[in-house]
Structure 1
């Protein structure tokens, strides 16, 4: 039995070769350990970039431990810096046992436009799985009191199972957030969008519903940047239960006329189930001025899993442009996907894909470099060191935590 409170949060830095399209090595920049905690906290279950919550020009990261203290849950913010350390700078704790606070975490952008980035944390178990999500405003002395609490509509909706920034959907001033509730209406699922503002409230500005019971729409939500380059941010919502677990995902364009109708629909392959369980912006992998998206389908014990990249464009459709394939059966390649920023400084965004079940659950993460003709061969592979490390269960771009000009991943 592993100690799940050991070093599960690992910040990786990429050592680049200047002016070249490849990099020399991947190295461990910082590891994070949860200390003085008894039991199984699941530290490192979710990791994310937190933006710059203290406005010191270094990107920060957030790591969760949703099972802390009988599933009360915690999340830890670590400030970036030239000499980053493993001591949490801000500790956020859930309200009660069984809430699973921190099962989902994300940077929230700057919802109140005060110059400090904010974070959002989900707690889907609140009040018999009604669920909640919490926004914490950043600041020079950020505290651990939530500034906004959003609550689901009814029991077993699992509101807060997924949370994300939605960037600026209707203007360039305030960032929005999106929260998923995949259990809504017998598993049809629903997603809630909340626009930022100088005075926040817990009333959703837009709700978007799935189509069919069992679709699990909203099990994953993410910002995808601006895929159609119209100046408004866009969002993607996954429905991994669609069509008997083949899965689907839907993109919604931001703008004054944003409604609940999908602008792009993507469907999975029958041979690789659970498409849409994970999804993310991919950045601009081909540097054409349109942001791109990545969607994972981790499959099952008899398949290797896949991740799919879709290029943005003025007439974006649901046709896959690049398919990244797992190698090992049952490794759950694609369980987690994310943009990786630009790790080698070539102006093309890169992506990272996790396969946490590989090798007795040691886990593995694969990094792919963007380019005008993107390679589907990983440029770097990071593998867990011990059985049940679950490395790759969650992957994310960390921003540039040490401000060396190259993106880092966690």
Structure 2
């Protein structure tokens, strides 16, 4: 595990904390955390787990200056401590323990995920959140995430998984202000959620001020494990609100188990875009990267631990810019058989001469369909709740959905100075629809010039 630690040595530069949860310096798998200077990379200090199998350092983060001594402090998770799990809040000044919290249930994996938070309880000191994805409160491995006061370690609030094997709290993250109330918010992943499909996963974003849900999203396919990782993403859509990224490392969007990363508007929960890859396990880990390429746009890191890179098991990390023009979902579709509304999505950036992935899902199995592409967005009612969302037509492409009601194609983007944006929508021939068809949402893609 790896995170920014804040300015631990008080030299004005942010330092780094690294967790090695299976280090055997004292006893087997006790674990360690190392804090390194952001100035020159020298080791500031190491903090050592003391008990067999603690896995101390499984996750780490900076938590601000909890004891108000002028030095940034850190949080370190040990999810197997005493067979329960724990977190330690450690002084940046001298490495002493400020707070130690033991989980509430055996085998809960408390401390598997940790994150500093903004000042949730308004006492002037940053707070923190801890995930326990194997707690059994609402069913076996339903999971939990708990927020604590950084000043006193008193429990502020608890979020519980919705049901059996949800694994809520497998990932947690500090966000900025997503809902515009001037208080920082936070995200929680539940990679095992079965709300839509088995192990499809879920991501939830909550108000730091009240703890109420701002938005959620559920995985769109069985086994993709959306929410295995969550992170702050900066302000991707430039609306003044914090945005969110979430990983679905087993998504088949780019190939079997290749993985996917979804970027969400913090204000609305709308999917701003998705990234797919041809490398296995893409999206297993995520982090905000600041502005790496100096374009005044947020960038972020994506980990893919199953990628061999020619040297199995290898693994890889990628840095992505959010500055490209990404697909924007607009409008709403209308239902067909069984009340199911098909969905249209694009994956990729609006760079002429490159390609994007066009995906239809949730349609009628084996049904013929039409994908229409136009230069303008319209809102033309067709009756029975169906709406035409683009006109006139630049292109109409006939396709056939598979048995699961899905279709995917790689589509080249035109190189034409006269075309600055395109709009897409799909119609599925479906006798279960009131008009004999169902329709998708629309997708807008700005083309960079």
Q: Secondary structure at the match of 1:346?
A: coil
Residues 345, 115 of structure 1: alpha-carbon distance in 2 compared, 3 angstrom cutoff: farther
The gaps in structure 1 that reach 5 residues or longer are: 1-45, 380-410
Q: Which residue of 1 aligns with 2:166?
A: 215
Deviation at 1:167, TM superposition (A): 1.6
CA contact (8 A) 1:192 1:206 kept: yes
CA contact (8 A) 2:30 2:56 kept: yes
Q: Which residue of 1 aligns with 2:204?
A: 250
Q: Secondary structure at the match of 1:254?
A: coil
Q: Does 1:282 align with 2:233?
A: yes
Task: Report the TM-score when normalising by structure 2.
Answer: 0.67
Q: 2:323 aligns with which of 339, 361, 371?
A: 371
Q: Which residue of 2 aligns with 1:116?
A: 71
Q: Which residue of 1 aligns with 2:422?
A: none
Q: Which residue of 2 aligns with 1:332?
A: 281
Q: How does 1:136-285 map to 2 (within 5 A)?
A: 136-138=90-92, 142-171=93-122, 173-185=124-136, 186-197=140-151, 200-201=152-153, 203-243=154-194, 244-255=198-209, 258-259=210-211, 261-270=212-221, 273-285=224-236
CA RMSD of aligned residues (A): 2.1
Which string of whole-angstrom CA distances, capped at 9 and with x for unpartnered residues, describes residues 353-391 of structure 1?
1112112222222211123735946x9xxxxxxxxxxxx
Residues 112, 155 of structure 1: alpha-carbon distance in 2 compared, 3 angstrom cutoff: same
CA contact (8 A) 1:294 1:309 kept: yes
CA contact (8 A) 2:230 2:244 kept: yes
Deviation at 1:143, TM superposition (A): 2.0
CA distance in 1, matches of 2:262, 2:213: 19
Which string of whole-angstrom CA distances, capped at 9 and with x for unpartnered residues, describes residues 84-142 of structure 1?
13x421100012111000011111123344442211000010112x110000122xxx2
Count of aligned residue pairs for this structure pair: 316
CA contact (8 A) 1:281 1:292 kept: yes
Q: Does 1:49 align with 2:4?
A: yes
Deviation at 1:223, TM superposition (A): 0.7
CA distance in 1, matches of 2:188, 2:256: 26
Q: Which residue of 1 aligns with 2:243?
A: 292
Q: Does 1:351 align with 2:300?
A: yes
CA contact (8 A) 1:223 1:234 kept: yes
Q: Which residue of 2 aligns with 1:9?
A: none
CA distance in 2, matches of 1:347, 1:287: 11
Q: Secondary structure at the match of 1:127?
A: helix
CA distance in 2, matches of 1:306, 1:111: 36
Deviation at 1:348, TM superposition (A): 1.3
CA contact (8 A) 1:182 1:188 kept: yes
Q: Secondary structure at the match of 2:282?
A: coil
Which string of whole-angstrom CA distances, capped at 9 and with x for unpartnered residues, describes residues 8-33 of structure 1?
xxxxxxxxxxxxxxxxxxxxxxxxxx
Structure with higher RCO (Cα < 8 A, 6+ apart): 1
CA contact (8 A) 1:358 1:364 kept: yes
CA distance in 2, matches of 1:78, 1:159: 26
Q: Which residue of 1 aligns with 2:34?
A: 76
The gaps in structure 2 that reach 5 residues or longer are: 328-347, 352-449
CA distance in 2, matches of 1:113, 1:263: 31
Which string of whole-angstrom CA distances, capped at 9 and with x for unpartnered residues, describes residues 303-325 of structure 1?
21000000222xx23x3111010
Deviation at 1:172, TM superposition (A): 7.3
